[in-house]
Amino acid sequence: MKYYVDIDGIICTNTYGKYKEATPIYENIKKINKKYDEGHEIILWTARGGTTGVDWRKITEEQMEKWGVKYHSLSFDKPEYDVIVDDKTQNIKEW
């Protein structure tokens, strides 16, 4: 299976744009890494910089490495939204 995983609020605390201050949520990282180890494709999907135009790739990649997050690719093309409605959405707490 292919999993798109948000970063802020799932992998780390949501700092509302102060990404350098984010702290890892290791309980969720463990769940993501388990899916990776089971052979699933993990795509990290973030809107970091989507409204400001700031390139957060280097800092984000460094954070993922430091926190031990296993993933296949990192995408910054997530749209900014308040609610997403989709028949395939899955809540991290349901894993």
Provide the CATH number for the domain around residue 13: 3.40.50.1000
CA nearest neighbour of 7 among 49, 54, 52, 47: 47
Q: Is residue 62 included in any domain, yes or no? A: yes
Q: Is residue 34 included in any domain, yes or no? A: yes
pLDDT recorded at residue 45:
93
Q: Is residue 60 included in any domain, yes or no? A: yes
pLDDT recorded at residue 95:
63
Q: Is residue 66 included in any domain, yes or no? A: yes
Read off the pLDDT band of 87 (50, 70, 90): confident
Number of folded domains that form the chain: 1
Q: Is residue 95 included in any domain, yes or no? A: no
pLDDT, tens digit (0-9, with 9 covering 90-100), for 46-59: 999 988 889 999 99
Q: Is residue 67 included in any domain, yes or no? A: yes
Q: Is residue 76 included in any domain, yes or no? A: yes
Read off the pLDDT band of 79 (50, 70, 90): confident
Domain that holds residue 13: 2-82
Please, what is the average pLDDT of the chain?
Answer: 91
Q: Which pTM was predicted?
A: 0.87
Q: Is residue 88 included in any domain, yes or no? A: no
